[in-house]
Structure 1
Amino acid sequence: MTDLTLDPVTVPPRFYGDMELFGRGAETAALDGVLARAADGAGSGLVLWGEPGIGKTALLEYAVDTAPNVTVLRCRGTRMEAGIAFAALHELLWPVMDRLDTLAAPQAAALRGALGLSRDETNPFLVGAAVLSLVCGMARERPVLVVVDDAQWVNEATARCLGFLARRIGADPVAVLLTGHEDPHVGPWEGLPALEVVGLAEDDARRLVAAAVPGATEDLVDRTVRAAGGNPLALHELPTIDNEPDADPVPGRPGDLMRVGPRLRRAFVARAAVMSPPARALLLLAAAEERGDRHVVHRAGAGWGVDMSTWDELLRSGLVRAPGPRLEFRHPLIPAAVYDGTPFAERQAAHRALASALPTDATAERAWHLAAAADTADEDVAALLEQAAEQSLRRSAGPTAVRTLRRAAELSPDEGDAARRLAAAARAAWAAGDSGAARQLLDDAENLVGERHVARLSGGLRGFLEFAYGVPERAHHYLTSDMAVVEDPRGVMEMGSVAVRSAWSAGRDDLQQQALERLSTVNTSGDPTLSELVPLLRSWWSCHDATAPVAPVAPETVGNLADRLGTRVWGLLPPIPLLQAWGVDGPLHDVLRVQTVALRRRQEITALAAVLVQTAVLDVTAGRWDAAGNAAVEALELAEEVGTENVATQCRLIQASLAAPRGDEHTVDDLTTRVLAASVPRGVRALSANAYWHRGRAALFAGRPQEALDHLVCLSEPGHDAAHRTCALLAAADTVEAAVQVGRLDVVEPQITMIDSWVRRTGAAWARTAAHRLRALVRNGPEAEESYRAALEVPGAPDNPFEYARTRLLYGEWLRRARRRAEAGRHLAGAAQVFERLSAEPLRVRALRELALSEGSRIHGPAGPRDAVGLTAQELRVAQLAADRLTNREIAAQLLISPRTVGHHLGNVYPKLGITSRAELARIDFAGDLRISSVDR
């Protein structure tokens, strides 16, 4: 959020219409800047915020009146419509409905569904894109000004849509202006420039009172200025009200400025008191209805003596306008003051009348009016609210459902019904990503009926919350304990699976076994899909128990099973890394993509973030690195929005996994530091292990095998924060490569043994490839070549293009040392092409250098003291590594030659370059060698 500060310099008075905006020169200058940028073709937005009556609406009117040659779209939020999805958007776009046909078909369909023009599903992402396309399309004709007053009451669906619009208009002539009561540093307007509108200075306040009440006495001006505290609405209204009780507060009494709200309420109630009883009743109905539907207010007032003369009296009061079928209060503070200043019994009667006047299909509005009229528990109203909440959930309006169910619980006569509704509200809050509300609702329900009963009602939600946001061992405790009380078999299976995953995340084999035992007792006889899943879960989760039975299964079977599990697949199946270890992950990408669409449509943000993470992991393996990066960015935004720290951490790990082979070590270090800061204190070893793994890979690809090994061995070190069996297994190929380069054969043998055991247990293609590659690294002669060929010929090995290219690189280097240059060149060129496509720059450079060596190339270029002229390809490579401050031993490890040979090459390099020391190598231009490649030619 960008907070704009006002320059205290004197500025000329500004006007909107015929009225001077006293003391608002700096604010109008800020608005002028937004409008000027739009006129110049650059979009921007501004949120004006401050207390009711402070003058925000007047500033909006100024902008509308002074904006030259613009199309104005405007709406206003209301309290009643705050729970109705897309209500404000309907008002905003109603004047331009004829333009919907200009949109792409999916966008138009989504927007029509949101606006109630069709039964199409209201995908919030498509709705936001549709509004953006619509507004920007109009802006191509002339600038567009979007004005949203009282944004604090705009329904959440519209707020998200408008926030989406306001953050994406930088390149279009669009200005977005919003007003609200609170500082918008968080919420849908986060990130937009914000300007607080404060009370007027005393001199400006006096000038305003004098202009509003010509001829006002000095005493009246003094009393008004003291009471209003700089609030322009109060400065306008208070002087015009005669005989207001207690009009003169005690000078200097603390809290005078905070008394502006109550005083204005009394002021408006006093103004309404001089009206006839029917007109007062009509004013109250209009204030309670809030949506501005004149027809509903008219029907509600039919039994209260309201006739045309009553309407005339109301409109003559100046408090309400009626342009067309809509009712509009002159200022939003007026209905609040009238409503709050009316006795509760009269408000009850108004809400009952409005409920009776609504159409039969307006379930939600009727429920809320009856709820507002209720002063004691009422099961009928509670049930109606619950029905309205169910409709909200079907429309993917989770926050609305949460508010509705909470109110239904308040009106429930029976504690059990109240707890059930609170638990349902907690589930809705969890799905919508509001973990704080979910926890509070669970606490409230537990205070009524106890933890065990709420665990049954909520489907073990407490454990899921802890798994997503907290400590995995604690999540394991909640989930395994609550499995005994939840009745839904699929829900119990999901709890058991997540409990096992919690223990796996913590690296606790003992807790994992406990959860597996609980999982094995679940009765799944009534669900064929679950019955098929249970033995697979037992086998997969017992991955490190060599005595556990193995249930062989084809990857296609897993894909079909995941498809049948629906959008709960992410909670029932093991995490993708474990499925990858078993080699059954192949078909899951398409299944998860379908599930992503469904979760987007239902706005289940928490689950959507989790599924996007799983999809990104699959994309990394399949070589779809750009797609993986995009999915990780989106998932991270969602996870940070709803506060799911564990999911956010996984997103950062995916980004680190892409940065490491691309040579972006700064990003790897930054991301893994953040990961460890989050994962180590909570004991999430699976995440900590991945952080160490990516640090190790970054160092390995950069040619620092010892540093890489220092990170990688931690994955197998008992008691270490990063010790994790699955991660150690998946990282074995990197660990062995680093260990071979530094001569640590004591590390190599256990790793090869571990991979061999896994091959015998699963037959997974990646493990078979890794086993052959690792043997090739420690073998010599024909045996090494046999292992390399076997690694490349494993069925399915090319499905992981990056690792396949790494195998080809290693094989090409071996062939080059065996002086089989033609064969070496073919593998090295193929590897370089893959690395180039993936932007894996360190390995691409390594492959090209090896390719140059295999071709016997020499560097040619203009002579000069600072150019690498006359070096052989091997001498050039040694010189470059030495210039990077690697020692002879480190250079030897990377080039697979002896330190003595390194010294020999350096002895030739120095005289050829006319230098005498390593320090002078840093001043040599080594860029040319990157261009000597048959791949590039």
Structure 2
Amino acid sequence: MMRRTAAAGHPGGMASIYEPSAVREAVYGRAAEQEIVGDLLRRARRGTGGVVLVDGGQGSGKSLFLRASVDSAAEQGFSLAAAAADQVGRAIAFFALRAALREPFPEPDDGCAPEREIERSIASIRACLERRAAAAPVLVCLDDLHWASPATLAALRTLPGDLDDRPIAWLLARSSAQPGGAEQLFGLLEKDGAVRVPLGPLGQNAVRAMLADAFGAVPDRALTELARGAAGDPALVAGLIGGLREEEGVRIIGGRAALTSSRLPRRVHDLARRRLGDLGREARHLLVTAAVLGPAFRLADAAELLGRTPAALLPAVEETMDAAITTAAEDAFTFRHELLRRALGELTPRPARTALHLQYGENLLANGRSAEGAADHLLAAARPADRAALAGLDEAAVRVRASAPRVAADLAVRALELTPPGDPDALPRAVAAAESLAAAGRLEQAHRIARDQLARPLPPEAEDRLRCTLSSLLCALGRPEEAAGEARTVLTRPLLAADLRDQALTAHLQALTGLRDERTGTAAEAVPALPGGHDRHTSRPSSLSPGIAASSGIAAPSATAALLARAVVHCDAGRVGEGLEALREAVRHEPGSSCDARQAQPLLVLAAALIDLRRLDEAGKLLCAADVPALRNLPAGAALSLLRGRVHLAAGRLADAAAEAGAARAAAESLGAYGYAATAHCVLSVIELRRGDIAAAARHLSARPAAGPQFADIYARAESLMAEAQLAEALDGADAALGHLRRLRVDLHVRPGLLLGDPTAAAWLARTALAAGDAALAEVTADAARRLADACPDQPALTAAAAHSRGVAHRDAACLAQATAQHAGVWDAASAAEDLGVLHGDQGDQDQAIHRLKEALDGYRQAGAGRDQARVRRRLRELGIRHRHWTAAPGKPISGWNSLTHTEQAIAELVAQGLNNKQVAGRMYISPHTVAHHLRQAFRKLGIASRVELTRIAIERT
């Protein structure tokens, strides 16, 4: 492709299509090809002939490339002989050469044989070229030789070889889509040493350069993607650019060239018409019909729409392939250029296009083909109050809900939007839209529709379906008590439809599981674990949404939810082995990830339980198995990121843990899944506590959109339970922490499994209880941890947790040494080592105290736990050991915020929160004197003299 620049005059004669103009066009993306022509011209200037053959299809920029080559030759002083053959001139012998040379040929000799006459003309052409070459190097440039006469082809077969010792350069071009004599000529010349140059599609870099030069700014993504549809076809790219400029379809926004309209320019439509004009009537009809079907089409589908047989369309499709508009793939034909396909489709009048979309969508459904593919066409065909089109949307939505809930939601919502308010189908479509949106994880939109409909009197079945949907939504929104209430309302109905009963049971069980309600076990036991557990024979069928109930041999969602509920009850009661078995049975029933957001995810729940037990490798494999594309747009996708974050946290990789938990929070909030977002905030709070950023930990907990127990907590049970208490302990001491855990004293007697999830949770609770003077709670905690370990002696994490908590509660050095050795996580082992070091110090064994505290410091350093490192360094200082904990990076600034050490920055941030030196010292595990020293250093580096100024700077940095 080319850009216009100033042009020089051309010495020598030229045909009119190559006359010099006031501007010339610079080539884009043809550097290698230009170099080949450049080498041809250099050889001619040195006195040696040569031939370059150019192959290019329609729109390849072939003629522009030749024109640029002619301009280059003119600037170098070549004598030019340039022209193009055409269909009319094909009947005239030597037409292209006559036009190029612009010299009279000898008069024909009537008495001469035709063969002799051709020889005379070729000799005359040879003589003409020899005369010119004696005065200056010559460029013979002939385009479109696929239209050349046989006489012209014969001359070109002999002349380049005869004149190869003269300074004559031959640049010959033809269309690669047109077989014939020119193709044979090119093959023979190539054997003689000619260089062939195929003009392929432009690269994307060249296209982006064209866009940037045309609009004076880097193109944005939408403009780049639109141009990508030209597939590098120079004519299409040039037409698109020219059309957008003419119609002001691009504006500079934020320094980038941005589209202002989704409409294709008229120039692109005109180009599509011209390419259609070169085809026969049958091929034209095939293309405009196939363009509606999509980028790829099956010949059988196009034939059905056209009322023909595939065999009858074969000549037409071959014609489109010869014209380089379509190409054959394995089982379909595809358009080479999406931009051209779109333009061809838009040439069809809208009513006809709508009818084609509807017919094709209905055909796909009737033939049992892709319902997702049908959905796109039915959506394109749908019009307000069009009963046939809307019925097609209804049917497609039902068929794709199980496999593609997001597509089903789009269909159902569109059908509802196009249904008039008083239409009898409005209510069934509202119910279907709410159910489909809930299944697709579009929670707030589903919640709005369900609430709007439930605000008015409804038939019982419609009301029940909406309440079931609302119950599952409320679970994900972090409102499990309301969710349980909605589900119970439905379950009280007599003769409930089978699928409705299953939905209500599933939602009810999930709500109770999230609440850890004492009724959870009873409700779960009422649902047999085997498929088809509830009585379908006495249930009436559903008229609103047929075909959704589970068929025989397939586990109903309620059976899976019951197994998960039993697993949680077993684990809470300390029967971890039974809980794992229930989870494995649920996975056997549902071995993959469900793409329905209303259903539980056994793979993820089992992975969470294995992370609780620090069986990280096994959990990681389950997370890989659960990671399917359909999950990523559901609340369960947030749970997947959350669990990956917990794996990193358990392994001491705090940065990776924060990244995954942050992704989980963002995904949950974007979906409106506030229960999952709240759980993610709890995990992030624990991570920030370990890092030592108490302010960030507090921000996460205060930002929780939903507090209290909920279903999402089963993915991070320890963090959800302990985060608030651990933050309170960091901020206000042990007494404040226990205020958040008042129920544990009673609950741990019957639910020791509350300690699951973090092998150091029991030790932390025992340590905090002792600090608050509550030895009884410390003993209860250690006993609960022991009972967990005794019930599952094959789980090392539970054994280590029991030893750790007993060591803290009973001040038992042997137990703490056992925990230090058995903890799998580097942070967990460091925690036990610190407790052991403290105990040795209290017992007067300074050497062992220092040894264990150094061991703890090393572990915390590996885990990136800054707050814990600071605390251990303080303990070591008290024992006479000093560890420097700041470094000066090479090239570090000597003033400004970045000149502050990490310790100085941390102190500044705490001061900005309003803490005095003593409070900062308590948080940092250093003395108030040391705080004052670091503050003086910070004041000096920042050039300030007050805490007020320091607070302003710290807040601005935040």
TM-score, normalised relative to structure 1: 0.49
Larger radius of gyration, structure 1 or 2?
Answer: 2
Structure 2 length as normaliser, TM-score?
0.48
